[in-house]
C-alpha cells in the first residue's frame, strides 16, 4: 500500500525553523513506522535523522509523536496508524535535528530522585540474597518495566508548562525503589518528591499512562507516591 508520511524536519545548520516534508512510499501494513523512516533515510533522504537501536520496543531510543501521540516508532505498525501519518519530535525537550531532541534535561530530572538501590545495612551473614517474598516483589513490578524513553514525560501538560517539573518518568523510577522492601531510602526520595517541582505538579491528566509503550500505569504509580507522601506510609 502507498503511505503518505509527513515528517518534521529541522536542520540547525541550515534552517531558521522547522518545516514538514511529505513523502509517499510503498509499505506493508505489518511494517513498523520505523521501517518506513529507515527506508526514507536509506533511499530518499539520508539526512533524515532519528534515534533507534533495538527496533522492538525495549531500548527506548525512538519515542516520537506519531499522529499527535507519543509512541515508539518501532512498536507501532502501519496497520495501527493508517496510510496518512504525521511524525514529529516529542514535545517539551529542545529539538536538536529532525526527530532528535536533547535528552539531557530528561536524564537530569531522572537523576534527581536517587534512581538507584540504597541499603547500607550489612548483607545476610551467609552472603546470600536479601530475602523478598513474591508479594513484596510484585509490589513494584510494574515500575521496573520503565525504559526511560521519555514518552510519558513529554506527553505531560505540566511538564510542557514547566520543565523544572521532574516529570512522570522520574517519579516512576522513584516508585520502583520506594516500594522495594529491600531499599532503605524511601524517606529521602519522598522528601525530594514533596518539593515544589515534584509530585505536586502532577494534575492527573493521564496522558502519561496513555503514552507509555510499556503499559505502565504511570498515573497510578504517581498516585501511590502521592499517597505515601501524604500518609507517610508505604502500604
Partner 1 sequence: MANVHQFDVVVVGAGGAGLMAGLYASRGAKTAVISKLYPTRSHTGAAQGGISAALGNYEEDKPEWHTYDTVKGSDYLGDQDAIEFMCSEAIDAVLELEHMGLPFDRTHEGRISQRPFGGHTNNETGKPVRRACHAADRTGHMILQTLYQQCLKNKVNFFDEYQVLDFILVNGRAAGVVAVELATGELHTFHAKAVIFATGGHGRIFEVTSNAYAYTGDGAAILLRRGIPLEDMEFFQFHPTGIYKLGILITEGVRGEGGILINGQGERFMPKYAPAVKDLASRDVISRAIYTEIREGRGVNGQNYVYLDVRPESVNRYAAMDGRTNPDGSPYTITGEQVLAKLPDIIDFCRVYLGVDPVTQMMPIQPTAHYTMGGIPTNKYGEVVVDDKDTIFPGLYAAGECACVSVHGANRLGTNSLLDLVVFGKHAGLKAAEYAKHTDFEKLPGDAESTARSAFDALRNGSGRENAFDISNELKKVMFEDVGIYRNEKDMTAALEKVRELQRRFKDVGVNDTGRIFNTELLNAWELGNMLEVAETVAVGALNRKESRGGHSREDYPERDDQNWLKHSLITKKDGRLEIGYKPVVITKYQPKARVY
Residues that bind partner 1 (CB under 8 A): 11-14, 30, 38-39, 41-43, 45-47, 49-61, 75, 77, 96-98, 100, 103, 107, 111, 115-119, 123, 127-134, 136-137, 140-141, 144-145, 147-148, 177, 180, 182-183, 215
CB of 132 to partner 1, least distance (A): 5
Quick check: helix, strand or coil at residue 4? Answer: strand
Quick check: helix, strand or coil at residue 20? Answer: strand
| DSSP H stretches of helix in 7-72 | 33-39
Give yes or no for a contact between 225 and 171, defined as CB atoms under 8 angstroms apart. Answer: yes
Which of residues 61 and 154 has its CB atom nearest to partner 1 in the complex?
Answer: 61
Quick check: helix, strand or coil at residue 45? Answer: coil
Cell numbers of 186, please? 524511601
Which of residues 201 and 220 has its CB atom nearest to partner 1 in the complex?
Answer: 220
CB of 188 to partner 1, least distance (A): 13
**Which residue, among 48, 73, 44, has the nearest Cα to 60 in the 3D structure?**
73
Which of residues 174 and 202 has its CB atom nearest to partner 1 in the complex?
Answer: 174
Which of residues 3 and 95 has its CB atom nearest to partner 1 in the complex?
Answer: 95
Give yes or no for a contact between 142 and 214, defined as CB atoms under 8 angstroms apart. Answer: no
Q: What is the separation of C-alpha 118 from the centre of its chain, rounded to a whole number of angstroms?
A: 24
Question: Rounded to an integer, what distance in angstroms lies between the CA atom of residue 185 and that of residue 226?
Answer: 16
CB of 48 to partner 1, least distance (A): 8
CB of 161 to partner 1, least distance (A): 26
Which of residues 51 and 69 has its CB atom nearest to partner 1 in the complex?
Answer: 51
Cell numbers of 219, please? 498515573
CB of 136 to partner 1, least distance (A): 8
Amino acid at each position: 500500500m502507498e503511505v503518505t508520511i509527513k515528517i518534521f524536519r529541522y536542520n540547525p545548520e541550515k534552517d531558521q525553523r522547522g518545516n514538514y516534508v511529505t513523502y509517499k512510499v510503498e509499505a506493508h501494513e505489518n511494517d513498523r513506522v520505523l521501517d518506513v523512516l529507515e527506508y526514507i533515510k536509506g533511499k530518499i533522504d539520508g539526512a533524515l535523522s532519528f534515534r533507534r537501536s533495538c527496533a522492538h520496543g525495549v531500548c527506548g531510543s525512538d519515542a516520537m509523536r506519531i499522529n499527535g501521540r507519543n509512541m515508539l516508532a518501532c512498536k507501532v505498525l502501519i496497520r495501527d496508524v493508517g496510510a496518512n501519518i504525521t511524525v514529529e519530535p516529542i514535545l517539551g525537550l529542545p529539538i536538536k535535528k529532525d526527530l532528535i531532541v536533547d535528552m539531557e534535561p530528561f536524564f537530569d530530572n531522572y537523576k534527581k530522585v536517587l534512581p538507584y538501590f540504597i541499603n547500607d545495612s550489612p548483607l545476610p551473614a551467609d552472603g546470600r540474597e536479601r530475602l523478598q517474598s513474591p508479594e513484596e516483589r510484585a509490589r513494584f513490578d510494574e515500575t521496573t518495566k520503565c525504559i526511560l524513553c521519555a514518552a510519558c514525560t513529554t506527553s505531560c501538560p505540566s511538564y510542557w508548562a514547566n520543565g523544572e517539573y521532574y516529570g512522570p518518568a522520574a517519579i516512576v523510577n522513584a516508585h520502583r525503589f520506594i516500594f522495594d522492601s529491600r531499599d532503605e531510602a524511601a524517606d529521602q526520595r519522598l522528601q525530594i518528591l514533596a518539593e515544589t517541582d515534584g509530585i505536586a505538579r502532577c494534575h492527573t491528566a493521564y496522558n502519561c499512562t496513555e503514552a507509555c509503550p510499556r503499559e505502565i500505569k504511570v498515573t497510578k504509580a504517581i498516585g501511590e507516591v502521592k499517597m505515601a507522601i501524604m500518609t507517610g506510609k508505604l502500604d
